[in-house]
Amino acid sequence: MTAASDRKAHARSLFAGIAGDYDHWAQLLSLGQDRRWHDLMIETVAPAAARPGAVVADVATGTAAVAIALARRYPACRVVGVDQSPEMLAGGARRVDAAGLGERIELVEGQAEALPLAPGSADALTHTYLLRYVDDPAATLAGMARAIRPGGMMASLEFGVPRGAALPAWRLWTRAGLPLFGAPGGRAWIATGRFLGPSIERFWHEHPLEEVLGWWAAAGLEKIRARRLSLGGGVVVWGTRSG
């Protein structure tokens, strides 16, 4: 089995095990920041997503939390949520139906590396906690950018690593707090807690923010901006597809 398939298999296994109560535990283990970070990311694509009839793609949509928030924030848009995990999408479908948004949100099984979207078909595209789970993040960003029309927008949210005095506390929380407080969620959440902190830190060590922003520019995005959230625990990046 190749390294690429190892990474994909791990991601599938990880999310299959936590799909049933992902939203509850994600909010708890992020100390209540997950939903606020989503909202801040969603606001950045307003110039494109608020257009009447806009199509907004949400990649790595999971259980559709961002897709639902997009549909509520921009009532004139249609949302296409894409995720590779059928277990997560099943939870997302239930949430979409419960929110009464089935006519405006379509959930599609697919991979970020090969989106089931035509070039230029999206007015805006969001992706959340994605880049650590793909084998070639630069190429994946380029592929997602091709799905956006010229003048459309892309925005992302990733976990970050705090700087300075906040770093020791972050490491303590991610190394000890996440597995401990995730334990009531079962073995899958303990494994997720143990994986998360080292995975986040390794990604940003190997790919500093300046490199990631370079990937965005190489993918054809301009007016690129980045914002660190909650002392650096989250990072939002957004930009406009060049013409």
User: Three-state SS for 37?
Assistant: helix
| Beta strands per DSSP E along the chain | 55-59, 78-83, 105-109, 122-128, 148-159, 221-229, 234-241
- The predicted structure's pLDDT at residue 10: 64
Pull the structure tokens for residue 95: 């949430």
Could you give the count of Cα atoms lying within 13 Å of 77 in the half-sphere of its Cβ? 28
Phi first, then psi: give them for residue 33, nearest 5 degrees. -90, -25
Average pLDDT rounded to a whole number, residues 90-106: 97
Say what percent of the chain tops pLDDT 90.
Answer: 72
**Beta carbons within 10 angstroms of residue 31's beta carbon:** 12
Its pTM stands at 0.89
**Alpha-carbon span 114 to 107, nearest angstrom:** 15
Average pLDDT rounded to a whole number, residues 158-173: 92
- The predicted structure's pLDDT at residue 19: 58
Mean pLDDT score of the chain, rounded to an integer?
90
Give the chain's domains with CATH numbers.
3-241 (3.40.50.150)
Q: What is the largest CA-CA distance in the chain?
A: 50
pLDDT at 92 over 60: yes
Pull the structure tokens for residue 103: 């006519």
Task: State the DSSP code for 120.
Answer: T
CA triplet 164, 169, 175: central angle to 5 degrees? 125
Token pair 């259980």 is found at 63
Average pLDDT rounded to a whole number, residues 209-229: 98
More confident residue, 6 or 131: 131
115-to-58, 111, 154, 201 alpha-carbon distances in Å: 11, 6, 14, 27
More confident residue, 17 or 71: 71
**Alpha-carbon span 215 to 221, nearest angstrom:** 9
Number of helices (H), then strands (E), belonging to the chain: the values are 11, 7
Output the CA torsion sign for 193, 194, 199, 202.
positive
Pull the structure tokens for residue 217: 């520019």
- The predicted structure's pLDDT at residue 190: 75
**Alpha-carbon span 221 to 48, nearest angstrom:** 14
Nearest to 120 by CA among 57, 47, 74: 57
Average pLDDT rounded to a whole number, residues 154-158: 97
pLDDT at 46 over 60: yes
pLDDT at 110 over 50: yes
**Beta carbons within 10 angstroms of residue 181's beta carbon:** 17
> What stretches of 112-224 show up as alpha helix (H) in DSSP?
137-146, 166-172, 178-182, 187-206, 209-218
